[in-house]
Structure 1
């Protein structure tokens, strides 16, 4: 009979791209993962990975089996969820999110998890989008809250909603109160998050789509630092709309009217299909319930 651990290992390799990353994600060794795959191939009577390729590459049978494997693990997850007792849900979940999440609803999320499932331990990692994805692919994170993901095998991507970033500047710069086009805005010094962020990529594309190139002056790894540099009149920047709710920030920042407006940042909750525990499912459900991101308005959607 097929061993579910073998199927789980197979799906982890496909999703993470290597035997070593799968071993790390499943808290085991690479030789153990290799042994599981050999046993799985023996049970199925087929070769799942192309041993002639230097990269981890599926054979034709392997590509066919991945869909059955994912459905099998999904069914197992459904069964476990239906039989689970909420009072004994436990485990450690490595949770990665961007600073936008940390600045908005992360504290409420952590509080809700601890109150509902006191035996779940959360390991939080706040980082830029690209770096979070790299850690996820390396098997170092179980769940991500990130902007638009790239479609890939073995990954669930569930939309959470949208969040608005607005162009702001210090009143010290003396920028006139008017409606700016992207081309006019590009003439000002611009402070931004580093290239590892989804916001940076969206900004480059937004300017490019309107025939202009941004005048970068600073790249930061923190939204808080971007806000501080902007308040110091070193340039203009995209900042969370919620920043203006803070009295000190509102006194030192000027909202710039721009047309067309910068698209809202879409966020997703991302997790692998290969190792869904009751604890992971509980954390994902609470994230979806506590998120304060607004549901996307499909009637006026402008894709970034």
Structure 2
């Protein structure tokens, strides 16, 4: 069970103001409500946050340790709320780079939300695979990138958002024995993937390389929806994000195989220059995370 923003807020103001009554007055809540929220916060964390044996509630060692982190959490929450009400201050053009899976799953609702909240904003979207988006960001050709497996660069902020589950798929009509994909039984099949140096291309090479093998027939193209349909046609295999099976449209006839060795998930991240107005990009990253959470 996760704690709520209200529980953390109640703890913070009791600690800051030195009492439950003062915190209740500041939050315009009843004292029992504030007390209940703090107790629930303590229950979730599994320890007392205040020593209540004294005249004033005094933070315990744990309460003192988390105080600064909770303060940052509340400040960030207020910032996101302000941005959602006030818009993206002063911005007229937003240049978004989106990896293919992000574009298919999240981008339509993200753009709809931006249009509803910030009608004055013009959005320019580039959809490409992640390594190209990373270079576009470094060249300042885009403002924010939603991409997977980015590299670390000086002056660039990287915020992990969620994990991408990768699966091997083949067409249901393809002659293939069993339900397990191994480098040995896929090595001679045509494999559809993004072109080098994409993250999927690199992951495939590493997966085969773990058994000392190299795929014999790599066929490359960019849209993951097309890659899924090529695999569905029954002429080869593809490594794709699991969600792309649903997002690639109706009529797909795919078998999902268990991978041995297992394929590590990719990290979907938001990436921007640190010297840019960071609060705006944090707002966009949080908005994307909220949309993704609703899809689970």
So what's the TM-score if we normalise by structure 2?
0.65
Contact 2:168 2:181 in 1 (8 A): no
Q: Determine the structure 2 residue equivalent to 1:269.
A: 270
Task: Give the number of equivalent residue pairs.
Answer: 216
Q: Determine the structure 1 residue equivalent to 2:86.
A: 87
* Gap change, CA 1:200 and 1:142, over 3 Å in 2: same
Q: Determine the structure 1 residue equivalent to 2:185.
A: 184
Q: Determine the structure 2 residue equivalent to 1:154.
A: 155
Distance in 2 between residues matched to 1:243 and 1:142, nearest whole Å:
26
Q: How does 1:1-304 map to 2 (within 5 A)?
A: 86-87=85-86, 89-90=88-89, 91=91, 92-245=93-246, 247-249=250-252, 252-276=253-277, 279-292=280-293
* Gap change, CA 1:212 and 1:107, over 3 Å in 2: same
Contact 2:173 2:234 in 1 (8 A): yes
TM superposition shift of 1:243: 4.0
Contact 1:192 1:218 in 2 (8 A): yes
Q: Which deviates further from its counterpart, 236-245 or 274-283?
A: 274-283
- What CA deviation, in whole Å up to 9, does each residue of 1:129-174 have, x standing for no partner? 1211121111111101111221111111010111112111112221
* Gap change, CA 1:229 and 1:247, over 3 Å in 2: closer
Contact 1:181 1:259 in 2 (8 A): yes
* Gap change, CA 1:278 and 1:267, over 3 Å in 2: closer
Higher Rg: 2
Secondary structure of 2:178's counterpart equals coil
Distance in 1 between residues matched to 2:114 and 2:198, nearest whole Å:
27
TM superposition shift of 1:293: 10
Q: Which deviates further from its counterpart, 106-115 or 158-167?
A: 106-115
TM superposition shift of 1:263: 1.7
Q: Which deviates further from its counterpart, 199-208 or 173-182?
A: 173-182
* Gap change, CA 1:268 and 1:244, over 3 Å in 2: closer
* Gap change, CA 1:247 and 1:281, over 3 Å in 2: closer
Q: Determine the structure 2 residue equivalent to 1:68.
A: none
Unaligned runs of 5+ in 2: 1-75
Secondary structure of 2:173's counterpart equals helix
- What CA deviation, in whole Å up to 9, does each residue of 1:210-259 have, x standing for no partner? 3221122411112122122212222111123234445511xx21222222
Distance in 1 between residues matched to 2:240 and 2:294, nearest whole Å:
15
Distance in 1 between residues matched to 2:122 and 2:230, nearest whole Å:
36
Greater RCO between the two (CA within 8 Å, min separation 6)?
1
* Gap change, CA 1:263 and 1:294, over 3 Å in 2: farther
Q: Which deviates further from its counterpart, 84-93 or 176-185?
A: 84-93
Distance in 2 between residues matched to 1:129 and 1:89, nearest whole Å:
25
Contact 2:224 2:244 in 1 (8 A): no
Distance in 1 between residues matched to 2:185 and 2:177, nearest whole Å:
12
Distance in 2 between residues matched to 1:199 and 1:184, nearest whole Å:
19
Distance in 2 between residues matched to 1:88 and 1:238, nearest whole Å:
39
CA RMSD of aligned residues (A): 2.9
